Structure 1
Amino acid sequence: MNNQACDDAATRNPRKAYTDYESSTYTVVSKVAYLVGVQKRIFENEYEPPKMEWYEKLHADKNARIVRNLCMIRTALELNYKAINNRMRFDMCNLHSLPEYVPQDSLNELMQDGITIVRSRALPAQYIVDINKHISNRINNCKSLFPLWLKWEYVRKLFLMPDGLNEKGIKAAAADYYANKNKYPYQVYINWSYMDSGNILYNDKKFVSLLYEANADYFTDLSKVSDAGNLTKAGIYKFLDKSERVVVVVDCENSDPYKLYATLNNLNQEALLNKICKIILYDDIHTTSAWKILERFTQIPIEHVLIERIKENKSLVDIRLTTGTCREYYQNNVDSFILVSSDSDYWGLISAMPEVRFFVMVESEKCSPTIKNALINAGISYCYIDDFCTGNSNDIKVAAVLREVRQKLDQAFHLNVRDILDEACRATRADMTTAEKNQFYDKYIKTMHVDISPNGEATIVLGK
C-alpha cells in the first residue's frame, strides 16, 4: 500500500478493504482520486479502492483531465518545493526542464487542452498561484460528474488551497503538506485538515461521512454509498445461470422504479442480457410516471402494460400479472421468472406453478415475515432491492422529474405571444403598422424571461 495513513489492518492485508467494507461502493472515491491526481498505478492495483473503469471514463473528459493534471503538478511542486525552488532560482530552470520533479505528461496534456502554465523566470510559489487560479476557475466544470445527493460545495473545497492566491498562503500550505505528507491520501495535496482520519479515500462510506463531518454536517442516507453484498449478487447470478429464458415481471403498484433501476444497474450487465429476454411492467394508471421512462435506462427490452381500472377503487394489476406470467410460461417457453413485488398475494401464483423457477425481489419494509418464511420453506430465493446502491439512480430520477416538470410547464405556459400582442393592440386601440408591431415584438416580447422568486413563484418579465 502506498498510503501510510491506511488502517493498520488494511495495511497488513490489502484484501481486507473488500471484506470489512464489502457493502460500500467506490464510485465517489474513484472520481475524487482521479481529480486530485492519485497516480494511475493505484487505479491499476485491484486491491486499492479507486477503480480503473472510472480512471478511463474521466480521462476521456476534458474538464476532468485538466483538473487532474493541474492537481498533479501542484502536488509535485508542494512535494519537491525546496529542490525546485533552488533549481529555478540558481539554474534558471522551468517546469519543462525538471522531469525528475514535475510530471511532464501532465504538462503536455494541459498544453494539448489549451492550458499553459509555463513562464520564464518564475519560482514555485508563482506557479502554484497560477495553478490555484486555474483550479478555482475550472473545478465547477466537474460538478456534473457527481450526483445531486452529494453536496458539491463540500467536494469543491477539497481542491481549493486556503489563501492560495498569495505567497503567504502558499508557503503555509507547503509547510503543512511537507510535514504531514504521509497523512494525505496517497500523498496528494488536498485541502483537508483532519489528518488523523486515515485514508479518506478508503471507500465511499468513509469518505462521504468524513466529508460531511468536516463541514459540521451529517450524512444520513447510507443507501447512496452501500451496495448489496457478494452473496446476494451471487444468488441472482446462480439463478440466471441455471435458467434458459428469464422474464422479469414487475408489480408497479408494489415496487419502486428507482430501487429496481439501482438493482439492475448494480448487476453484471452481460449476465442480465444473456438470460433476461424482457421486463414486463404491469402498471396501474395511479402509479408513478417514472415507470414510463425506465426503458431509456436499460438495454433489456421492456413491455409496458398500462392497466385501466373498471372500478375506480379496484386495481387489476395482480390478476393481469398472474395471467401474463402463465402466458409467458405456456406460450413463449419461459422457464424462469424474477418477480418484483412485495405483495403476498403472489404466493398463490408461485405455489400453483411448482414446475416454474421463481426468484423474488422485495422491499424489506413492505414484505411480511410470513411470505419470507413461505419462500424459504419452498426453497425459493429472494433478495431485497433496497440493499442495492441507490447512489447511481440519480440519472433516472432527474429524467423523471424533468419529464413531469416539462409537462406541467406545457400546461401552464401554452400560449401564442403574437396572438396576445394583437389582442393588446385591439384592447388599447393602438394603431400600429406591421413594421411597428415587429419592432415592438423584437424589443419587448422576444426578450422576455421567467423570473423565479426564492419561494418558487414564477413571473414572466417583459424586455425593456
Structure 2
Amino acid sequence: MTTTPVPIHPEEERPTYFCTKSTTNTYTLISTIAFLIGVPQHTFENEHEPPQLEIYDKLKYNKNACIIRNLCMLRTAIIRNFKKINHEMYHNFRLLTSLDEYIPMSCLTELSACGIHILKKNARLAQYIVDINKNISDRINNCKNLFPLWLDWNYVRDIFIMPNGLKEDGTKAASDLYYAEKGNYPYQVYLNWVFFPGDGNILFNDKKFTSLLYKWHEDEFTDFNRVSNVDHSVKTNIFRFLEESQNTVIAVDCENSDPYDLCATLNNLEDELRDKISKIMLFDDVHTSTAWQVLAEHTEIPIERIEVKRLKDDKSLVDTHLTVGVCREFYANHVDSFVLVASDSDYWSLISTLPEARYLVMVEHEKCSEKLKEALDENGIFYCYIDDFYSGMGKDIKLTALLTEMKCYLAAHIDLNVNQMMDEMYRSTRAVMSETEKHQFYEKYIKSLSLAIDNDGMVSIQIKGK
C-alpha cells in the first residue's frame, strides 16, 4: 500500500536537511601499501599527502609489516643508488654498513634483530637485491591479514614480487625499468607495477588504487563502497538530527535492510552520537539473514530483537509490527525521534500519520523507490544511503556471522567423539596399551587430526604423524 504524500507540520518551520549522494575517499589500503613498500615516514606526517599517519603508527608495532617495510626500503635504496654504492664497494673498498649516505642503516639493524642477515662477504651488489627479493617472497604472505578478505591477495602480493627477481638479469631489468619511469613510481619507491598513461599517483586514494590494481590484472573492481565513505555533509545531518533529539530509537525492518551495511553505518558514527541512541529495535522475520542475531556483538547500543511470526507462509507481518512498535515507543516510552532503517514506501503511512515524531530514514539504493524519496524531500525529512557508508567498518560482523553459521552447520553434520572412537579402536583391535601409551597415542595422532578439502569441496579427516 502506498499513501499519497501529505505535508507534515505545514504550520511549523521544520529543519531542512539535504540528502547527498556524493562520497568521500578512504585511505586505509593505500596507507598500508605505502608503509609496506617503504614510503618515508615524513610523507605520512604531511597532512597534504594521502598516506595516513594513524596507519603508520599502528603498523610500526607489527613485526611482519616492519620486516617487509625494511626489506623494501633496502631494495629501493640499492636500486636507486646502485652505481654509487657499487663504485664505493669495489673502488674504495667500503662495506655496505659504512654507506649510510645511501643505505638506511636502521633497516639493517632492525632486520638483524629479527634474525634476517642481509650482509654477506664478497657478495656482488646485485646479489644483495636477489637475497632481499627472496626474503620478501618468503615473508610477504605473513602480511596477508593486514588486508580485507574481499581484496584479491594475489593481486596485492604481486606488488612486492620483483619479476624474475631471484636472478641478477631480473634485478637489472627491474632497475632499468625503475630508472626509465622513475617519475611514475609513488614517492619514487620501487614496487612491481605496470603503469598506464595518465595513472598519476597510484596511491592517491583507495578507490583509484583498487581500480588500477584490478585493471593491471585485466580485471575490474566495482564494489566502491568498500573504498569510499559517505560525504561529510551526511554525517553532519545525522549529527544535527541526534543532537536535536531528546530520545532516539532506531527501528529496523530486517527484511528490507542489510545487517552488514547497518553495522558499518553505526560504526562510522562517533561515540557521542551513538550514545544519543537509546536502543535498536530489530523487527525480524524467520526468513531474514542470521547475521541480525550477532549484531549485538558489534555495537554497544542496546538491542531489542522482535521476532515476528507468520500466520501465512507467504505473508510477512514485519511492517505492521514495526509501525505498532514505533507508535508504542512514542506514546508509552516518550521517544521523540526515530531512525527508520527501511527502504519500503509502505512506511510513509507511519511517517505521515504520526507527524508529531521526528524521523531520519536510512535506505538502500536499489530498494528505495523514487516516490518515497520525493515524499521525504518534500517534507524536509533527511534520508541517507546505508550502502554508501564505508563497508570496511562492518567487516567484523560478517566474519562473526560466517563463523557462527559454520559452527552450527558443523555441529549438525559432524557427530564425532574421539574418546568414544578410541574406546572402539581398542575393542576392535584388542590392542593392549598402558595409560602412558594411550596418552602418547592421543597426543601424537588424535590431537593432530586435521581437515583436508578437495577441489569439489568434499571434506576428509587427515591423520598426521604416521
For the aligned pair, the TM-score class normalised by the smaller chain equals: 0.7 to 0.9
What SS does the aligned partner of 1:280 have? Answer: strand
- Kept in 2: contact 1:94–1:120 (CA 8 A): no
Name the amino acid aligned to 2:77: A
Decide whether aligned partners of structure 1 residues 64 and 441 sit closer, same or farther in structure 2, where only a CA change above 3 A counts.
closer
| Residue type of the alignment partner of 2:41 | K
2:461 is aligned with 1:460: yes
1:110 counterpart = 2:111: yes
Letter in 2 for 1:300: I
Residue type matched to 2:137 in 1?
A: S
Match of 2:307 in 1: 306
Q: Secondary structure at the match of 1:279?
A: strand
Aligned counterparts of 2:295 and 2:308: Cα–Cα separation in 1: 17
Instruction: Provide the alpha-carbon RMSD of the alignment.
Output: 2.7
**Counterpart in 2 of 1:59?**
60
2:258 — aligned with what? 256
Contact 1:154-1:215 at 8 Å conserved across structures = yes
Give the SS at the match of 1:147.
coil
1:200 aligned residue (196, 199, 202): 202
Structure 2: how far apart are the matches of 1:440 and 1:123?
A: 51
User: 3-state SS of the aligned residue for 2:230?
Assistant: coil
Contact 2:207 2:224 in 1 (8 A): yes
Residue 295 of structure 2 is matched in structure 1 by 294
Contact 2:249 2:339 in 1 (8 A): yes
State the distance in 2 between where 1:268 and 1:107 align.
Answer: 42
Shift of 1:288: 0.9
Give the distance between the partners of 2:462 and 2:78, measured in 1 at CA.
Answer: 51
Which residue matches 2:220? 218
Q: 1:99 to 1:462 in 2, by over 3 A?
A: closer
Write the distance in 2 (CA, Å) between the matches of 1:462 and 1:98.
53
- One-letter code of the match for 1:98? L
Q: Is 1:181 the counterpart of 2:173 in the alignment?
A: no
Q: What is the Cα deviation at residue 205 of structure 1?
A: 2.0
Give the Cα separation in 1 of the matches to 2:337 and 2:325: 13
Structure-to-structure mapping, 1:419-430, within 5 angstroms: 419-420=420-421, 422=423
Inter-CA distance 439–186: structure 2 relative to 1 (3 Å threshold):
closer
Q: How many angstroms apart in 1 are the aligned matches of 2:350 and 2:190?
A: 59
Is the CA contact 2:254–2:284 (under 8 Å) kept in the aligned structure 1?
yes
CA contact (8 A) 1:94 1:118 kept: no
CA distance 1:107–1:248, shift in 2 (3 Å): farther
Answering whether residue 331 of structure 2 is matched by residue 321 of structure 1, we say no
Distance in 1 (alpha carbons) for counterparts of 2:53 and 2:381: 37
- Equivalent position of 1:132 in the other structure: 133
Q: Tell me, in whole angstroms, the C-alpha distance in 2 between the residues paired with 1:433 and 1:322.
A: 70
The equivalent of 1:14 in structure 2 is none
The one-letter code matched in structure 1 to 2:92 is D
Provide closer, same or farther for how the CA distance between residues 54 and 321 of structure 1 changes in structure 2, counting only shifts above 3 A.
same
**In the TM superposition, what is the alpha-carbon distance from 1:461 to its structure 2 partner?**
4.8
Write out per-residue CA displacement over residues 275-311 of structure 1, whole angstroms, 9 at most, x where no aligned residue. Answer: 2233222222221111111222233333333334455
Contact 1:247 1:338 in 2 (8 A): yes
Task: Tell whether the 8 Å contact from 1:237 to 1:271 is kept in structure 2 after alignment.
Answer: no
Query: Whole-Å Cα distance in 1 between the matches of residues 187 and 440 of structure 2?
Result: 62
**Residue in structure 2 matched with residue 15 of structure 1 by the alignment:** none
Whether the 8 Å contact between 2:184 and 2:195 is mirrored in structure 1 is no
> Partner residue of 1:246?
248
Aligned to 2:357: 356
Q: Secondary structure at the match of 1:286?
A: coil
Instruction: Work out the CA distance in 1 between the residues paired with 2:231 and 2:300.
Output: 24
Post-superposition shift, 1:433?
4.1
For residues 143 and 397 of structure 1, the distance between their equivalents in structure 2, rounded to whole angstroms, comes to 18
Q: Distance in 1 between matches of 2:356 and 2:106?
A: 61
Deviations 1:349-387 (A, max 9, x none): 222332221100011221122222221222111011122
Change (3 A) 1:95 1:393: farther
Q: Which amino acid counterpart does residue 83 of structure 1 have in structure 2?
A: K
Match of 1:77 in 2: 78
Q: Which residue in 1 is equivalent to 2:3? A: none
SS of the equivalent of 1:358 reads strand
CA distance in 1, matches of 2:151, 2:109: 32
Query: Are residues 145 and 444 of structure 1, via their aligned partners in 2, closer, same or farther at CA, if it must alter by over 3 Å?
Result: closer
Range with greater deviation from structure 2 (349-358 or 439-448): 439-448
The SS at the match of 1:278 is: strand
1:6 aligns to what? Answer: none
Cα distance in 1, alignment partners of residues 463 and 76 from structure 2: 51
C-alpha distance in 1, partners of 2:111/2:461?
44
Comparing 157-166 and 327-336, the one that deviates more: 327-336
| 1:237-267 deviation line (CA, Å, top 9, x unaligned) | 22223223322221111111111122223x2
**Contact 2:275/2:301 (CA < 8 Å) preserved in 1?**
no
1:121 deviates by 4.6
Q: Is structure 2 residue 398 aligned with structure 1 residue 397?
A: yes
Change (3 A) 1:363 1:160: same
* 1:369-408 equivalent positions in 2, closer than 5 A: 369-408=370-409
Tell me the CA shift for residue 392 of structure 1. 4.6
Whether contact under 8 Å (2:182, 2:188) holds in the other structure is: yes
TM-score (norm 1): 0.86
Contact 2:364 2:385 survives alignment (8 Å): yes
Change (3 A) 1:379 1:22: closer
* Alpha-carbon displacement from aligned partner over 1:196-218 (angstroms, at most 9, x marks no partner): 32211112222112111211222
Q: In structure 1, the residue corresponding to 2:218 is in which secondary structure?
A: coil
Q: Encode CA deviations 1:72-108: one digit per residue, 9 max, x unaligned.
A: 1211111111111122223333343222222233333
Equivalent residue for 2:152?
Answer: 151
* Alpha-carbon separation, structure 2, partners of 1:461 and 1:134: 31
Q: Aligned partners of 2:424, 2:113: CA distance in 1, in Å?
A: 57
Paired residue secondary structure (2:335): coil
Displacement of 1:432 in angstroms is 4.6
Write the distance in 2 (CA, Å) between the matches of 1:440 and 1:143. 36
Percent sequence identity over aligned pairs:
52
Match of 1:237 in 2: 239
Quickly say closer, same or farther: Cα 1:260–1:435, change in 2 above 3 A: same
Does the CA contact (< 8 Å) of 1:183 and 1:195 recur in 2?
no
Relative distance call for 1:299 and 1:74 in structure 2 (3 A) is farther
CA contact (8 A) 1:94 1:119 kept: no
Aligned to 1:92: 93
Q: TM-score, normalised by structure 2?
A: 0.86
Aligned length: 441
In structure 2, C-alpha distance between the alignment counterparts of 1:330 and 1:100, rounded to whole Å: 74
Instruction: Sort the Cα spacing of 1:242 and 1:99 in 2 relative to 1 into closer, same or farther, 3 A.
Output: farther
Q: Offset at 1:321? A: 2.5
Distance in 2 separating the partners of 1:239 and 1:279: 16
